[in-house]
Each structure stands twice: as structure tokens, then as C-alpha cells.
A = this chain, B = another copy of it.
Amino acid sequence: MHNFRLVTTIRVRYAETDQMGVANNANYLTWFEVCRTELCRNCGMPPAVWEKEGFFLPVAECGCRYRHPAVYDDLVQLWCMPEKIMPCSVTFRYRAVRESDGCLLAEGWTKHAVTDARGKLVRKDNAFYRWMLDEEKKFQSEE
């Protein structure tokens, strides 16, 4: 998984299953959010801190392809790759992988606007943008 990094691992909750006996499709978007939170934390700045600094990342678009179902109590690795880092938007790609056998469960992406606390788009050369670029460069050079 070139350029994807393993960010965190979640365990499927009972409440996340539905009567088909598998994790309901909507939960993957919540897991992707957990993945973004942990990616930023791993880089030293969790989203909670960015929100205090006045930067918000509402989801503007998303997509997901479900390949294999996750079931209750599965450990699910969440892999992430930021891309298209722009002053006023950023896209994250995700892969959800079952830890026990490496099975790819789902691939998804979310595109985010970068806004201030009032929901207004933030323009060029902002602190969040520069931080994302810096972190991405560090990651690329480590590989």
C-alpha cells in the first residue's frame, strides 16, 4: 500500500453491527473520522487543537467501496494517505484492513473544506495548510 500509513486500529462494536450480522456501512465514515483524528495526533496536532486555533474540516465529499464485511469484534486497521493538500481543502484516502488476515475490507476517501469557526473558507498560506505540507514532506522523506 504505497504511501498509505497505518494510523490506528479499531474494534467493531456490537452497536455498529446491523441485522445482516456485519458492521453497518455508515460506520465506516465514523471510522475514517477516527483515522483522521489519529493521523493528526500522530503528527503532533490533533484536530481538537486545530479547532481551538480556529481551523475546522467539514466533510465536503466522500466515497467508499465496501469489499468484504467486517463483523463484531474484528480488529480493523485504518490506513490513511493525505492527498491534494490545498490552502482551502484537503483529501484523505483510507483503507480498512482486517488485522487477523490482512483482508481489504473497504477503500474510501473524504474531501474536506478548511474553514474558520463560522464555516467560512480559509484562504492561502494558512497555518493548517503549511503544517499539512510539512508533515507530508517529512513522511515522504522517511520512506
Inter-subunit contact B69/A60 (CB<8 Å): no
Interface size on A, residues (CB 8 A): 38
Number of identical monomers bound together in the oligomeric complex = 4
- Of the candidate stretches A9-17, A85-93, A126-134, the one touching chain B is A9-17
Asked if residues B66 and A25 are in contact (CB atoms below 8 Å), the reply is: no
> How far in angstroms is the closest Cβ of chain B from A74?
9
Q: Check: A64 CB closer than 8 A to any chain B CB.
A: yes
Could you tell me the distance between the alpha carbons of A17 and B48 in the complex, rounded to whole angstroms? 12
* B26 engages A18 (CB within 8 Å): no
Rounded to whole Å, the gap between the CB of A44 and the closest CB of chain B is: 14
**Contact in complex: A60, B56 (CB < 8 Å):** no
Chain A 61-85 per-residue mask, 1 if CB under 8 angstroms from chain B, else 0: 1111110010111000000000000
A30 close to B (CB within 8 Å): yes
| Binary B-proximity of A24-50 (CB < 8 A = 1, otherwise 0) | 111101100110010000000011100
Q: What would be 24 A-B contacts, judged by CB atoms less than 8 Å apart?
A: A11-B34, A11-B37, A13-B37, A14-B24, A14-B37, A15-B18, A15-B29, A15-B30, A19-B21, A19-B71, A25-B59, A25-B110, A26-B33, A47-B73, A48-B73, A58-B66, A58-B69, A60-B65, A61-B64, A61-B65, A62-B62, A62-B64, A63-B63, A63-B64
Query: How many Å from the CB of A39 to the closest CB on chain B?
Result: 13
